[in-house]
Structure 1
Amino acid sequence: MGSGSGDRGWAERRPVLFPFLLSLLWPALSEPIRYRIPEEMPQGSVVGNLAKDLGLSVRELPTRKLRVSSEKPYFTVSAERGELLVSSRLDREQICGKKPVCAVEFEAVAENPSDFYHVNVEIEDINDHSPKFMHNSIELQISESTKPEARFILGSAHDADIGTNSLQSYQLSPNDHFLLVNKEKLDGSKYPELVLKMPLDREEQKSYHLTLTALDCGDPPLSSTAQIHILVTDANDNPPVFTQELYRVGLPENVFLGTTVLRVMATDQDEGVNAEITFSFTEASQITQFDLNSTTGEITTRNTLDFEEVKEYSIVLEARDGGGMIAQCTVEIEVLDVNDNNPEMIFQSLTDLILEDAKLGTYIALLKVRDKDSGDNGEVTCKLEGDVPFKLLTSSRNTYKLVTDGVLDREQTPEYNVTITATDRGKPPLSSSTTITLHITDVNDNAPVFQQSAYLVHVPENNPPGASIAQVSASDPDLGPNGHISYAIAASDLEPRALSSYVSVSAQSGVVFAQRAFDHEQLRAFELTLQARDQGSPALSANVSLRVLVGDRNDNAPRVLYPALGPDGSALFDTVPRAAQPGYLVTKVVAVDADSGHNAWLSYHVLQASEPGLFSLGLRTGEVRTARALGERDAARQRLLVAVRDGGKPPLSATATLLLVFADSLQEALPDLSDHPTPSDPQAELQFYLVVALALISVLFLLAVILAVALRLRRSSSPTTWGCFQPGLCTKTRPVVPPIYNEGTLPYSYNLCVAQGGKTEFNFLKCNEQLNSGQDILCDDSSGALFPLCNSSESTSHQQAPPNTDWRFSQAQRPGTSGSQNGDETGTWPNNQFDTEMLQAMILASASEAADGSSTLGGGAGTMGLSARYGPQFTLQHVPDYRQNVYIPGSNATLTNAAGKRDGKAPAGGNGNKKKSGKKEKK
């Protein structure tokens, strides 16, 4: 180091570790980084480039955040260049006192990643203190009998500096009788001794005035002086003598106050007053820890001793006799360390919040431990108490890192109270504990969980729009947005465009609302996929299935398919042979109900009857049978009012009117039907003439086509081809043949013909007689009458072709109504018997409409609009299938349609022998 007292702004940096050793040992750096600087450097002076010595580049400084961790802020680190700077006054004497080596130890902390480095800055002494005497004047009484070479210890000077800057020597002003000897104590301090060179003669000189100068070896050297006043007294030849020049004693620091340390002893060979010895401290003002008995020389403790503050005391005692002669000795008291200090723990860079998904070994805190005791009493070890997912790693001497050592789950343990115990190695050992609370921060690691794996909801139809039909609920154990759940519809088996018009879900509560009134007949069930999603990042979600079953209510009254009213509102009639026996099947009421289950279970009841007891009605089948034979008094025309009720609560019902005529032929039944003529309708007359005109045009067109075909075939065919065109015979066309009925069904069929007589008639034929004879033909005449009835006598030579299979229903096409099948009265499901009867009734009803001009025109060229109604291709594929709605008593199932789906509905037909009652006959 250089020297100089004027300018102290310089500093000499002396890193102890060489750069290449620093780079080699850097990964496992445990030794401190050392610097050496002089004291009293001005603030802001550079001690050294700490970042460079730690191997940190300037670019790393903003992220590493290098700083000094010390209890006393003597130093700081510049954020720009990483230099270690002086931040406060460095007074070596104030910091270290008389310690030969004054070093300030502190820690440098770097973050990202966090690390802990030890720094040792040795403060060198400069000569800033001059030696000072306690007293500027020293008085001595020396007997004239004092022999030469007698020694007198003078008051020593004190210099706060150390080393060469401390007190080094004493000098005495020149004189003839005294010289000065520099003496040194065991602790290294120096004190002066005045030596008598020659005897004194009081008569020559009574006193002497000398100057004592104390010098140090600083650069420049400093000094101070004290005046010595020597008074020559009368002879006291023998000074006191201590039994020992040096007393040494060891004293534990935990002794009680008033404990005797030692007792010094001195003797004086003089007698009388000159032999009376008193003891005293030469520097009594500096002795605060001990008391001295001036008579006995006993030293006792006055205040508590503390090894951590002062480890050794050096005391100079003086023994003075009555003649003023003195003797001195040195007492050195060594304070022995006792394990009286508990270890201390200081947390640095403690992390406030810990993520629950933190990996093993994640840094939590830096811990520094210290113990003021020395030796084994100051050796400290730390450990964690309890079973916690953390552990302590030794970072360097007396420093530890607290890191994670297990899986954290905030939902199970939101916080940990971690207790760290530090124990020293003293006997007995002392320990201290510190508890810190570590809070675990939530991470979105839990998806929402629904309370049920699936939801099934029953909603009755005709519910009010906007009503809640269900509520789903999910839970999420996370906190804040991670646990805030919102609900939405993720998928559905409904049409995506129509989904919003059916249901909606509340995003906050999970309540599912119906947006419309459901109709069981249109929608019986649908399924939603509901999603619960939290607000975490990234968001987690869960799905659940919600199946909604729309329950049926009795909101549809039965609908009568047969018998149906005519287009003009007139009732149709059925004919019954006069010879019908009891149990004869007259007709059958056919009704359907769009509801399901009990709501669609129909029963039939007779409300009114012209002749009670003449007919019986099947409770479940709707079959009307004769209960007895027709009597002579019974009217030929009977009327039944039938009520059809469903099984709902309350039940709904419909009525049907049956007109039954006992007759063996249509001609016989017509007079009964004309009893109540219907007033003519001008609109019906107009429709009739229009139909006749269209029919005439069609017949002319058909005749032209037939004539052309006949001329074409005349060359290659026999005359039998023209059989239908012979005079007196009807022109035969493809016969309209209904299915042949079995025994017990309706007994009449029909023929539609255009006869040459120019008159329209309905001819009812016995099924067992005329169907087999082939007399059902459709004829035309030259008069242009529409569908005249004729009985061809010459058609027996042509056998009728078998009926077209297109007339028959397949099993899938037959309407599954509750009244269209046979059954018993106990409520069991009946068998289907009346499909063909319904077909026959519909054909007759359509034919009647065509006759009075109410039928649809333009059905096809040459057919006068009747092809679509009466042709062989006519089926009941548009008749609704209600079998799936019908409840089977004693079973929880309903019949299903084996043919698949049918959307449209066709008007129900009637039996083949049904006619309009009261309809005026057209000529």
Structure 2
Amino acid sequence: VSAGGRRGPGSRRCCAVLRVLVLQAAWALAGGQVRYSVPEEAKAGTVVGRLAQDLGLEAGEAEARRLRLVAQGRRASVEVSGASGALLVSSRLDREELCGKSAPCALRLEVLLERPLRVFHVQLEVTDINDNAPIFPAARKNLSIAELSLPGSRFPLEGASDADIGANAQLSYTLSPSEHFSVDLQKLNDGNMEPELVLTKSLDRETIPVHRLVLTATDGGRPSLTGTMELVISVVDANDNAPQFNQSVYKVQLPENATKDTLVMRVNATDSDEGINSEVTYAVTNFIPPSGRDVISINPKTGEIRLTGALDFEEVNVFNLRIEARDQGTPSLSGHCRVLLEVLDVNDNAPEVWVTSLSVPVPEDASVGTVVALLSVSDRDSGANGRVRCWVWPAAPFGLEATFAGSYSLVLREALDRERVSEYEVEVRAEDGGAPALGARRGLRVPVSDVNDNAPLFAQAVYTVLARENNAAGAELARLWARDPDEAGNGRVSYSVWEGAAGGVGAAAGSGWRAASSYVSVDAESGRVWALQPLDYEELQVLQFEVRAVDAGEPPLCGNATVQLFVLDENDNAPALLPPAASSSSSSFVVAKIRAVDADSGYNAWLRYELWEPRAKGPFRVGLYSGEVSTARPLDEADGARHTLLIVVRDHGEPARSATATLSVSLLEANEAALAAGSSSASSGSRSALGVDVGGAAASAATNVWLVVAICAVSSLFLLALVLYGASRWAPRAAVLSGPGPTTLVCASEVGSWSYSQRHSRSLCVADGAAKSDLMVFSPNFPPPPPGAAPKDTQPEPSALLHTVSASSFVPFLLILIRSLGISCLNGVQFPRFNDVGYLAGV
């Protein structure tokens, strides 16, 4: 400090440094918080404090380090000047708006300083000024004081309020001059003062009916502010007249669908008194019935009667109310009247349908007119709204009959059939006569019980079954299924073989007739047909019997089906040799003829002959199908005088069966041969056979023409058969042929099979053997079981037992045609005769 009182630059810098140190120490001691105070209503721009300086910032540092306030929700009424760093008032400060009656009113601000970042807390206290005058709750208050009130009577008044605090809010009251009234203050428990109006002199309504006074409230501020309220005091006359209604009984009607708050009516009572003695209030003193309290109310001031709930004609159709009108006099007086409210019916109730009795299930043989159910129908409405008409839907097979008012019978109008409809969903409908009409529905489930009125029915009248011979005992042949649409026991079917006039066995000649039950049996539950013993085609070719299906109803019903069982031949018989016979050929080269017969049929009986011994090129040969033993070449002396031939006879079965024959041939000289020729028809080999061989060759050449013709004809048939076969390949095929269709004869062989439409058989004779009939095989026609059938109704495909028909071989046709032309041998090859071609069944 200079002597002259001036400070040099050095001293000022020292002072500044010292001031910063002092401020920093003060800041540390104060916990980093600065406090300012500003009066409310300060003008915008008023400096609250030098914030930058108080925070120890140099000039210009506040702007460089971006000193600013951080907003905290409510808009701040202060801001920081960027240049000077001072805290300024930015908008109007209203302490009552910021803090209400709270004291002190302190605002907490956050100040942000960057580079480095620091946060400071600033507390700004807003001090109160007397800027609010006392305010009464109302500018005017009306008081009614009876003219008979005694002096000294007190009447509480509502005091004024002041938004300021402290002395600025301490109020005092004064009353305008009056000889009848004064004001007095009463201290309340919370410390506030409440004014009371005190009657100082008796009132006289006839002299002054109304007193108008002004109550003034003054606060303790400097300068003080005041508020006023006008007191209008009415002098109440003495109560000497009771209220009077203009009618003693009021009648009104309302529909029951009237909504809540509907005005029923308005009653009015008058009082000739004045003031409070003429003020009337209304009340309902009696409800008949008492439930009227829940639906009807009256406005105590206006006398308006309104609905507070819903009306229901079906519960209450008339309400009787007693109304009282009472004035406010002391003592109060009252008058009375009655109100009759009649409720009008509205069609707001739908008919109701009840089932009082239900007799189900209904047997399907129930007679027309049978009562199924009893019903009761009602409607809570009255008049046309309560008149109900009823009907049943659908209209068949049931109908409604009215027994008496509100009661109906559901009766059967048509015959029932459980197999067609097993259950009915019936709906009883009711409709009243209101406008608009209301209806109701009641559903009934009427099941139909079964009666045994359906006999078991097979899918077809005749079943064709194919079975191979030598089948095992107990093997399944087929399964039959009969449908019975009845249920439970009435539809439970059992099967049996029925021995009737049509049941029998087609057996071999001389075997007679035997009962079908000795061959087959039927499972009672499944309908499975099984063999009791192995079948023998040579004994039995066709077995026809009937299967009876009987249900378990009372009485039981039955159905029949015919089963035609055709036995298919198996190669179970070897060829049997017959006594030799002389050759029918005129050729001298034929030595002998081997004859054999096979008890089987068809392809299994087609025989062929083979020369086993000698195996070298001997002088003899045997016809493949004719069995004729002939010379293969001219004989000479080197061939020897005696030959033993071993001939094997085989059939065409699978596996093939065979038999052997031994033939001894003795060679004779020419003269011996001539003598032998004269005494017997046996032929032996000699040199003269050469001439006969030439003659046979000439005959063979003559027949070649017929062979060419036959080959051309067979080729044409072959082409036609190819076309038919191709068409059959594209057609849908099944393992089991179904449908009634015509009966078909089926013949099978190892080279194929073919069929004829004729349903007959012819006897075949082989040499001198006994005649036999080939098997007539008919295509099976089992129907498939219906979809979704129960396990007992299933019908498996007996693929192991049934065979389909195909046409894939043409060799038999060629043989038939050649033989039909009379050609038995060509170039030394002997063609088989018809009875040798065993697979030609049925011819």
TM-score (norm 2): 0.48
TM-score (norm 1): 0.44
